[in-house]
Amino acid sequence: MSTLNTRPEPLDLAFGKSAIVVVDMQNAFASKGGLLDLAGIDISGAPQVVRSIDAVLRAARERGVQVVYLQTGYKPDLSNGGGASSPNPRKETALCLMRARPELKGKLLVEGTWDFEIVRELTPRPEDIVVLKTRYSGFAGTTLDSVLRAREIRYLFFVGIATNVCVESTLRDAYFHEYWPILVTDGAMQAGPPAAHEATIFNVESFFGWTLTSQSLIESLTTQT
């Protein structure tokens, strides 16, 4: 077991039963010309988040820790986005923006498009796991839980975009599924004002898990047995 310098208190865990969960690090959320940028949401912090995640993944892979990517994507006909009885098309940013701007139809978070792709700097490796999703939580209607349990993974480190939407949604569900969730605070970025990021940190530390910085995690991965 390794002892991590997490907040609100140190946490003992086994890296051999851990995974790094990379949430939606797609052009849609992290690149100029992507969904969030087109929606007018500030993504100026994305390059630093990409660098933090890249450093974490390098250390994790060297240690043999499993890397799991979550990737949001819709069919070209948007049939898996939710029909008239679903609230998803009324709130999910890509579906709303494509409805409001017909010239964008089929271009935002649609499988096979540039917007859908993982950013180049964080391209998954063959040994990584990629789980496609169509809702904010990576556990909603996906194989994520069975994939993790098959590998006896119990501890999940969360990085990605957006802190207050898909990251927090998946982290909360991880807690409800009896996983131990840890948010890497500088490896995530909010959609909206900075207060949204801070609110998620408060929620995690108070109710759903633990937090730590990327540097603290890297140090533990590289120095602790």
- As annotated, the active-site residues are 24, 133, 166
CB 1 within 8 Å of CB 14? yes
Contacts of 202 (CB under 8 A, 6+ apart): none
C-alpha angle 22-27-28 in degrees, rounded to nearest 5? 95
Contacts of 143 (CB under 8 A, 6+ apart): 131
For residue 13, the cross-strand partners are: 2
E-strand ranges in the chain read: 2-4, 11-13, 18-23, 66-72, 129-133, 155-161, 180-189, 210-212
